[in-house]
Structure 1
Amino acid sequence: MPQQLKHVSVIIIEDHSIFIEGLCSILQEADGITVLETFTRGEAALDFLKSRRADIVLLDISLPEMSGIKVCSAIKELDQSIKIIALTNHTEKSVVMEMLQNGADAYLLKNTSRKDLVAAIFQVQENRFLMNNELQKILFSAETKVKGIPRLTQREQEVLKLVGEGATTAAIAKQLFISTQTVETHRHNLMRKFQVGNSASLVKKAGEYGML
């Protein structure tokens, strides 16, 4: 390992504690890697990075409150030199594209091997963009029926935002000066566009797309 790549500092942003423990176990055994801190929420990680610096961020996409896509963009705004490795189960082309467009330096799936994960950290630190063959095929494949992020009307965006904030149908109707039946119509249209079956899944998927 080249001299300049020793002592790479890493933080982990992941909302599953058992996965964090596994990552820490792997990285603590790897020469030249120091895990500075772990976080289950993006906001806390951003607060940390305002006063301390990390070389690499291992970032999940599905996070509570603030999606990994938004966290990725915010980190790059804070410090462009911090390298971000998306570490996720998402293989949807639209999600991969969104993450890359918001500054991710690499995209790994959570089923990656211990060896490949450690290698990826040093490769990204060397400014080498990383994506395995499976993801490259997805990224450069022909468009499927679902083409990226759903297009929403202005009113649908307003309803989605309020649903994401936990507002009830009655509260949304009162705030937007529309009937509860109209709110439910917009809600059903949103679920159809996002291809989900309930409001919880709608909020989750919209968050993954960075739309909340």
Structure 2
Amino acid sequence: MKRILIADDHEAVRSGLRAVLEQRADWEVVAEADDGSKALTAAIESRPHVAIVDFSMPRMTGLEVARRIRQYPLQTEVLIFTVHNSGLLAQQAFEAGARAFLVKSDANRLLMTAVDALLAHKQFCTERCRNELNGGSSNAERHPGLTPREQLVVKLVAEGYSNKGISAILNLSVKTTEAHRAAAMRKLDVSSTAGLVRYAVRAQLVEA
């Protein structure tokens, strides 16, 4: 029996994932958590084969959960689950120790495929994610001068998120988010949100 942990701060999301996963007779959801700290504790206690962890959760982000799991002698593969379809986020997830990255809108279609890949200790991400990760030019070349965190902030600004919303997604203080936003504007020589949005479209951080 393959053991699975689900960590998401929305009960409806956890219920939906459980319903999909338990269609497989040899898979069992052994634990659930509604914040990152509980997710880490549950992983240590239940030792799941796979942990499906929301990117943005209270108390500890999914990335931090992945990093902490790697510090323990656990044979747990981590899937980062998010509403944001971004190669930048996927790269951060893999660098944190996750082996799979899945956008929530793809869950019904690809969740079982992703979990199967993890159970075989293989990396999984969508075709768009792979294309962004394996693009011909590096992030540094495509976004000169911007750090990965500044790129994420610009992307989220262009998607319409406020500084407070970005802070919640990235688990940053509002002050830190504002500093990243100001640094990006200075480096890009723009003076408004509209300027950031225009840059994000040109740089293909978001779709036009």
Question: TM-score w.r.t. structure 1 length?
Answer: 0.67
1:124 aligns with 2:88: no
**Which residue number in structure 2 is paired with residue 139 of structure 1?**
133
**How far did residue 114 of structure 1 move?**
3.4
C-alpha distance 53-149 of structure 1, shift in aligned 2 (>3 A): same
**How far did residue 80 of structure 1 move?**
4.7
C-alpha distance 65-113 of structure 1, shift in aligned 2 (>3 A): closer
- Mapped to 1, the partners of 2:119 and 2:78 lie a distance apart of 10
1:15 aligns with 2:9: yes
Q: Secondary structure at the match of 1:65?
A: coil
Any idea what the Cα deviations from partners look like across 1:145-204, whole Å, max 9, x if unmatched? 4551139xxxxxxxxxxxxxxxxxxxxxxxxxxxxxxxxxxxxxxx88984875522422
**Which residue number in structure 2 is paired with residue 200 of structure 1?**
164
**How far did residue 78 of structure 1 move?**
1.8
Aligned pair partner of 1:38 in 25, 28, 32: 32
**Which residue number in structure 2 is paired with residue 150 of structure 1?**
150
- Mapped to 2, the partners of 1:36 and 1:101 lie a distance apart of 26
2:51·2:79 contact (CA, 8 Å) conserved in 1?
yes
Any idea what the Cα deviations from partners look like across 1:60-98, whole Å, max 9, x if unmatched? 101112111111101111235211111212223322111
Q: Secondary structure at the match of 2:24?
A: coil
Q: Secondary structure at the match of 2:150?
A: coil
Unaligned runs of 5+ in 2: 178-208
1:102 aligns with 2:99: no
Question: TM-score w.r.t. structure 2 length?
Answer: 0.69
Q: Which amino acid aligns with 2:149?
A: I
- Mapped to 1, the partners of 2:122 and 2:55 lie a distance apart of 21
Q: Which amino acid aligns with 1:48?
A: A
Unaligned runs of 5+ in 1: 1-6, 152-190
- Percentage identity across paired residues of the two chains: 18
**How far did residue 19 of structure 1 move?**
1.0
- Mapped to 2, the partners of 1:110 and 1:77 lie a distance apart of 27
Q: Secondary structure at the match of 1:29?
A: coil
Q: Which moved more, 1:7-16 or 1:82-91?
A: 82-91
Aligned pair partner of 2:19 in 9, 15, 25: 25
**How far did residue 111 of structure 1 move?**
2.0
- Mapped to 1, the partners of 2:65 and 2:156 lie a distance apart of 22
2:44·2:74 contact (CA, 8 Å) conserved in 1?
no
Q: Which moved more, 1:141-150 or 1:86-95?
A: 141-150
Q: Secondary structure at the match of 1:149?
A: helix
